[in-house]
């Protein structure tokens, strides 16, 4: 099933493999394989908390991060040291995702309603959120969520692409501190 034309685009951004060895990662829970460049650091729920990759990625509390992985459904976290960008690959089933089942079976209005329910509003002063619906060349429908927290004490920005397939929300979450 062609789930992620966008996934390819995001990881091409991170996986500039000219002159760099690449590695492939397969995630059976979301039926996806990803190839990343050799400089990209990869953390999964199976990465031991004492592995030095956590420190290299700037994560000071791996135990807490692994708990977050479990709570959010993170299959992998990819960190590019050159751009200081983190991309999380997430797959999660919820009661609302199981009920809605697939964006392919929904109207744009239904997708918009679903997106409004699962996307956060402004949670604090200085944080803005916006979402839009986009369709990839393959026909896969995505919700694009932009979270802008650059006007806060801990500035960051985040762009999330998510789709709904077989009752599972699959998302690519790109996060950049200090932007």
Q: Does residue 48 register a pLDDT over 70?
A: yes
β-bridge mates for residue 92, sequence order: 169
- What torsion, rounded to 10 degrees, do the Cα atoms 93, 127, 40, 59 define? -90
- Residue 88 to residue 171: CA distance in whole angstroms: 8
Residue 124 is predicted with a pLDDT of: 63
Give every CB contact of residue 107 below 8 A, 6+ residues apart in sequence: none
Give the pLDDT confidence of 85-97 residue by residue, as tens digits: 999 999 999 898 9
Give the pLDDT confidence of 109-159 residue by residue, as tens digits: 999 888 888 766 555 677 788 888 998 888 889 999 888 887 777 778 889
Across the range 5-31, mean pLDDT stands at 54
Mean pLDDT of the chain: 82
Give the pTM. 0.78
């Amino acid at each position: 099933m062609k789930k992620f034309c966008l996934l390819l685009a995001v990881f091409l951004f991170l996986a500039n493999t000219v002159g760099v060895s690449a590695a492939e990662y397969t995630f059976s829970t979301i039926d996806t394989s990803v190839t990343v460049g050799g400089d990209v650091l990869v953390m999964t729920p199976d990465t031991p908390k004492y592995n030095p990759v956590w420190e290299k990625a700037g994560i000071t509390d791996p135990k807490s991060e692994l708990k977050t992985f479990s709570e959010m459904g993170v299959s992998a976290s990819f960190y590019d040291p050159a751009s200081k960008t983190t991309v999380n690959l997430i797959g999660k089933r919820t009661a609302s995702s199981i009920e809605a089942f697939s964006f392919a079976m929904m109207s744009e209005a239904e997708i918009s309603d679903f997106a409004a329910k699962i996307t956060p509003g402004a949670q604090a002063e200085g944080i803005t959120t916006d979402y839009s619906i986009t369709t990839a060349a393959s026909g896969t429908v995505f919700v694009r969520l932009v979270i802008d927290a650059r006007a806060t004490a801990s500035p960051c920005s985040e762009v999330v692409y998510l789709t709904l397939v077989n009752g599972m929300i699959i998302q690519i979450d790109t996060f950049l501190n200090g932007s």
